Amino acid sequence: MSDYVSIHGQWSSRLTFILAATGAAVGLGNVWKFPYLVGENGGGAFVLVYIASIALIGVPVMIAEVMIGRRGRQSPINTLRDLAVEAKSNCRWQFAGVLGIVAGLIITSYYSVIAGWTMAYAVRMVGGVFTGVTKDGAESIFAFLVEDPERMLAWHTLFILMTVAVISRGVRSGLEQAVKILMPALLLLLLALVVYAAVNGDFVQGLRFMFAIDFDALTTGGVLTAMGHAFFTLSLGAGAIMVYGSYLPSDVPIARTVVAIATFDTVIALLAGLAVFPLVFANGLTPGSGPGLIFLSLPSLLATCRGEGSLGRSFSFFFCLQPGPPRLLCWSRWSPGWWRIVGCCGLGRRAGSVFLPGCWGWSRSSLLAPGPLSSILPVK
């Protein structure tokens, strides 16, 4: 068996791959979904089922994806096609890669819009717009943003341009340099916010909400939710991890690396809950989930906290970084297949980047007309 060679370069180290893959796994769902699922489905009982699902399902599948990616050293489509030919198997395996690329495009098309929201909120927080704001005021600010398609389109376009600027520089000069800055910054901000919540929030109630073991509250649906979230949070089945594996050096141990990624993702999700819910309980708010927690509840909550200026800026930059690492990298979920098309047209990576924002047009249509995004806007 001859070794394939990636035309896109390789990660410089195991640590860089861990940061990149963790960046793909960690997202706003770790903040607005996972902690709430824990609290509503038996606390520690849900965490135990989730960890078991990660260990028994998520990690083995992730190991398989990384191994396939490193073996093929190409896009998911070409990797599955060539390995099927090599194994004298059915070439229709390549259509699984097609599904992954389509999934990456769809995910990016809506996540880039939410990333635009976080950037808009970061600027407003730094500018003092949320100083002393009430919950009704926070709702008005959010409604003003989402009811103005041109304003949303501007922030969304800015995020897409930043993404293209990173991706066009390739693996080491682009993606690698981004994760080396963004992921440590994300972790440091998160730890600082947890410390603040421990000092100024109802940390005991937050711990009880997330970790008190209650098997009576854990239903069959809760078990299935834990299993599904374990699969989703590691970005499995969408080709992302296969792409990252194609950049992995041959001497890096896959199993230990994947365990480290799964561990970091779980720890970050739990820390995010410990940063948010103690403050929610301390201010008498009802724990929630989804965009409403981030864009409606937290701004009014931060306005009542001690040192709300610096705290608010920390939270705004934390949530701005949340979609940053995974979504800056999200283009690479389907970009290797795109670069094959670009190469056939005789264009280089930088020139081809001009044509990357296909999902920009897709998202633009959702912003300027009723569509899938309208169902997640928590305005009314």
pLDDT tens, position by position, 233-285: 888 887 888 888 888 988 899 999 999 999 988 888 888 888 888 887 887 76
Identify the pLDDT of residue 291: 65
| Contact yes or no for 330/179 (Cβ under 8 A) | no
* DSSP E strands, 246-372: none
Where on the phi/psi map is residue 13: left (φ > 0), alpha (ψ -120 to 50), or beta?
beta
Complete DSSP assignment for 65-123: HHHHHHHH-S-HHHHHHHHHHHTT--GGGHHHHHHHHHHHHHHHHHHHHHHHHHHHHHH
- Does the pLDDT of residue 178 top 60, yes or no? yes
How far does the chain reach from its first CA to its final CA, in angstroms? 59
Residue of 313 and 378 predicted with greater confidence = 313
Task: Please tell me the distance from the alpha carbon of residue 206 to that of residue 276, in angstroms, as a whole number.
Answer: 8
pTM, full prediction: 0.79
Report the pLDDT value the prediction gives residue 8, as an integer from 0 to 100: 65
Collapsing DSSP to helix, strand or coil, 24 comes out as helix
Q: 5-43: per-residue pLDDT in tens?
A: 666 678 888 998 998 888 877 776 777 677 778 877 888
Two structure tokens written together for 118:
């976080």
pLDDT digits (tens, 9 = 90+) for 89-123: 888 888 888 888 788 777 777 778 888 888 888 78
Copy the structure tokens of residue 105.
Answer: 């495009």
Query: Which residue has better confidence, 138 or 312?
Result: 138
Q: What is the per-residue pLDDT for 304?
A: 60
For the beta carbon of residue 180, count every other beta carbon within 10 angstroms. Answer: 15
- Residue 217 above 80 pLDDT? yes
